[in-house]
Chains A and B, each alone.
Chain A
Amino acid sequence: MRKKWPVCALLMVLCMVMLCRIPAYAAEARASDRIYHSTATLSKASNGDLSICFSVRGTGKMNVIGASSVAIQRSTITGWVTEYTFTPSNAPTIQAESKFQHSAVLTYSPLFTGKEYRAVVMIYVEDATGTSTQQLISRVA
C-alpha cells in the first residue's frame, strides 16, 4: 500500500497539469470587429403572447444593424420546430441603417398554449468593410 502512494501522487499531479493546460490550447480568439454586445430575450405576457426582444451595439456607426431573422421555435418531442420567422421583409423594424445601436421588440401569438417556446435571433451588422453575424438563442418561456 505504501508503495502505491508515489504512483497516486504522480497521477494526481498529471491530472492537475492536464486540467490546467486546457486554456493554453483552447480555440483561437474570435472577437468581433463590429459587435460590442448583443442580447435576445423572450418573455410571455399575461395574455399568452410572446414578447421577443433583441438589442445590439456596434463598434461604430454601422451601415446596417439589427437582425437578419428572428425565428420563433416551439419545443416538440422531436426537438425545436420553427413556427414563425420574422425577417426584414415582414418586420422592417428588426433592422436599422446608419446607427451605432439597435433594439427591437416583436410580439407573437403562439399557435399552442402550454408549449415551450424560444427565439433564435440572427444578429446582423454591416459596415463598409464587411458584415458580422451572431446567433443568439433566448431562454425558454
Chain B
Amino acid sequence: MDELKGFDNNQYAYLRQLSIGKLLELLNIAPVPASCPEDEAYVDALEEAIIEKENENPTGFFPDVDQQWEQFVTQYLPEIEEAALEPEGMEHADSAQTNQQSLEVPQKRVVPFRRVWRTALVAAAAIVCMFAIMVTAQATGIDVFGAMARWTEDVFSFGQIPSDSEVSDNLNGEADRQEFSSLQEAFDAYGMTEVHEPTWLPDGYVLGELDVTHLDDPFLRIFSASYTDGERSVGISIMSYEEEPASQVQKISGSVKSVEKNGMMFYHVENSVGRTIAWYSDQYEYYLSGDEGDDILWEIVDSMFE
C-alpha cells in the first residue's frame, strides 16, 4: 500500500501545479467510483490536490460544516432546536454513517432560554447570599476565608470559644519545672526547633521571667518568657496543644487583621492595652504580646524565624 501511495505521488505530482478550477473539472470527469487501483489512486491524488489548494487559498468550495448541519436540521429535523444540536454538528458532518449513529443517540433535552436564564439568576442569587453569609460569619469572628481562627467581640482564639466564656474587669499542681537562663536554652532542652529565641529586642530589654512547663504523659509544653526594659514589656508564650489550640486572646471590638508570611498566617489582635501577634503550627500555638508598637512586635517576630 505504501508502495502504491509512493507511486501515486510521483505519477500525479503534476496535479498540484493545476488551478483549483482545473482540478474541479478533472474531478467531474474522474472515474468515480474507481474500478481499478490505478483509477482509485488517481482520484485520491486529485482529491488531495484539491484539498491542498483549498487549504492554501480557500475559495468556499468546501461547505461550512456548522452551516450545513444547521441546514440539514432545519430541513429534516425541524423539531430539534439548533442550540441543542450545535455542538454535535462537527460529528454529524463527518460522514453519513456518523450522522446515523449520532441520531440514534438519545438527544439532549432542549432547555428553553428563559429557564436557563431563570436558573442562572437563582444560582447567582444563591452565590451572593452564601457570600454574604460567609462575610457575616467572618465579621462575627469565624475565620471562614482564613484558617481556624475565630473571635468574638472580646476574645480571639484558634480553637473553640465556649458560649459561656467571659471576661470581666474591675471586680475589685505539680509539673516538672526547670530553671533556664535563656529561652533558647529551654528550646534546646525540649527540642523546640520551629522558632528560636528572638535575636532582636528593643534597646534596654532583658529577660525578666522565664517559665517552662513540661509533661510527657500527656504531652505538654509551655514556654513563657517576658522581656522588659523596666517600664514596658514584651512577652512570648508558646504552648503545645492537642486537637486544636485552646488559648483565648483578649481583644477590642472589631475584626482581627491577618497577614501571611512565609506560608504561615499571623493574626494581629488589638487589646485595650497593647496587642498580640498570634500564629500556630501543627503542634504549637504562639503568642507575642506587648505594649510596644506594631513595628517593634513584628520585628521581634521576624527575628524568631531568622
Q: State the A residues within 8 Å of B (CB).
A: 9, 12, 15-16, 19-20, 22-23, 26-41, 43-47, 51-53, 55, 57, 59-61, 91, 93-94, 99-107, 130-139
Say which one of B85-93, B95-103, B184-192, B235-243 lies at the interface with A: B235-243
Say which one of B9-17, B28-36, B55-63, B268-276 lies at the interface with A: B268-276
Interchain CB contact under 8 A, A102 and B211: yes
Instruction: Give the Cβ gap from B122 to chain A, nearest Cβ, in Å.
Output: 9
Interchain CB contact under 8 A, A55 and B167: no
Q: Which of B133, B136, B245 has most A Cβ within 10 Å?
A: B136
Interchain CB contact under 8 A, A23 and B215: no
CA distance A26 to B133 in the complex (A): 16
CA distance A65 to B291 in the complex (A): 18
The contact sample of 17 A-B pairs, CB cut-off 8 A, is: A12-B128, A12-B129, A31-B271, A33-B272, A36-B287, A39-B247, A51-B215, A53-B213, A53-B222, A55-B213, A55-B224, A57-B226, A61-B233, A102-B211, A106-B174, A135-B167, A136-B165
> Does residue B39 face the partner (Cβ distance < 8 Å to A)?
no
> Does residue B168 face the partner (Cβ distance < 8 Å to A)?
yes
CA distance A42 to B207 in the complex (A): 30
Interchain CB contact under 8 A, B167 and A16: no
In the complex, the chain A residue whose C-beta lies closest to that of B162 is: A137
Quick one: given A53-B213, A137-B162, are A107 and B168 in contact (CB under 8 Å)?
no
Report how many residues on chain B are interfacial, defined by Cβ distance under 8 Å: 67
Complex contacts, B289 vs chain A, CB 8 Å: 36-37, 57, 59
> Does residue B197 face the partner (Cβ distance < 8 Å to A)?
no
3 closest pairs, A vs B, by CB?
A105-B175, A30-B154, A31-B272
In the complex, the chain B residue whose C-beta lies closest to that of A132 is: B169
Extra contacts, 16 of them, besides A32-B273, A105-B213 (Cβ < 8 A), are: A19-B136, A28-B253, A31-B250, A36-B250, A37-B248, A39-B248, A41-B242, A52-B173, A57-B226, A57-B235, A59-B289, A60-B291, A61-B233, A103-B213, A131-B169, A131-B170
Instruction: Give the Cβ gap from A47 to chain B, nearest Cβ, in Å.
Output: 8
CA distance A24 to B305 in the complex (A): 38
Contact of B250 among A37, A51, A138, A139 (CB under 8 A): A37
Contact of A22 among B139, B164, B233 (CB under 8 A): B139
Instruction: Give the Cβ gap from A50 to chain B, nearest Cβ, in Å.
Output: 9
CA distance A28 to B244 in the complex (A): 28
Quick one: given A26-B253, A57-B235, A139-B243, are A32 and B169 in contact (CB under 8 Å)?
yes
Q: Which of A30, A38, A102, A137 has most B Cβ within 10 Å?
A: A30
Interchain CB contact under 8 A, B167 and A57: no
Complex contacts, A93 vs chain B, CB 8 Å: 173-174
Interchain CB contact under 8 A, B167 and A32: yes
Q: Which of B173, B242, B244 has most A Cβ within 10 Å?
A: B173
Interchain CB contact under 8 A, B224 and A33: no
Q: Quick one: CB contact mask for B17-34 with A, threshold 8 Å, 1 for yes?
A: 000000000000000000
